[in-house]
Every structure is written in structure tokens, then in C-alpha cells.
Amino acid sequence: MLERYLDLLKALHDAKIRYLIIGGYAAIMHGIPRFTKDLDLAILPDIDTCRLILDILKSLRFGTAYLTSPEELVKSKVTIFEDYLRLDILTEVKGLNFEAAWEHREIAFVRGVPVNLVNLDDLIALEHAFGREVDLEDAAYLEKIRDEKI
């Protein structure tokens, strides 16, 4: 499923943008058999990073990237880009210390493209912090995966 986002992830990698895949795709990549409709990327709210991300999105024909600015992206906790793909950019995530999570991220390769993925323990903590029923179910499943009970 993540293959739909490979052009974006490759461009982010090539531009050396620090991002972490969190949310549904992270859960799927860690072994949960589920569906998600969007890609959630956590980033640091830095003006240069946000400018680069918007430039990349525009180059990939995300029309909604023209509806915001780097300054607005920095200020907003969540910005949703809904074009031919749905992308959520999060500059603040409850329960996530980006710098710490970045240091022990996992790098997965999808068709040769390196992607930055929040590690399993951080994802479990995030799912608990989100606190919705679906998140708590995901956290319980991920804990079983971590403890090798599945």
C-alpha cells in the first residue's frame, strides 16, 4: 500500500528532510493487518523544512500545497493535503518527542526507497497517547507483536 507514496518518500529522502511515518502506515509496517486512507508524517516545525516539503508537494502535483504557506505549515499542528493521495503533515504529536524518536527510528526499504518509520515502542506509546478505541486496539496488537505472542 505504501507504494502509492513512493515518489513523495523518495523526494523527501533525496532532500534530506527529517520525517517519521506514524499512524496507520506505521502500524501496518510493524505488522498490523489493517487499512488506512492516509499517510501521517511527523516533522519538526522548521520554516526551511516546511518550504522544502511544499516545494516537493507542488512538484508532485499536490494542488492543495498551493493553498498554504511554509509559515502556516509551521504554525499548524496538522495540515491535511487531500489530492490524488491523502497526506497529513503533523508538526506536533501528542506523546511524541520528535528528536528522541528520530534517534531510534527504523529505516525500512520499500522498493529500494528508504523510509523513516517510528520504532515499535514509540508507536505503541503514541497509540496509547492518542487514546481512541482503534488506537488502543492497535497498541494491544502491537504489544503482542513486540512480545512475540503473534
CATH numbers and ranges of domains, the chain: 2-146 (3.30.460.40)
pLDDT above 90: residue 75: yes
pTM of the predicted structure, to 2 decimals: 0.93
* Exposure letters 26-45 (e unless 16+ CB within 10 A, then b): bbbbbebeeebebbbbbbbb
Portion of the chain with pLDDT greater than 70, in percent: 99
pLDDT above 80: residue 108: yes
Amino acid at 115: V
Residue 150: per-residue pLDDT:
64
88 near 53, Cβ under 8 Å? no
- For the stretch 31-43, pLDDT in tens is 999 889 999 999 9
12 near 53, Cβ under 8 Å? yes
Pairing of strands 86-90, 39-43: parallel
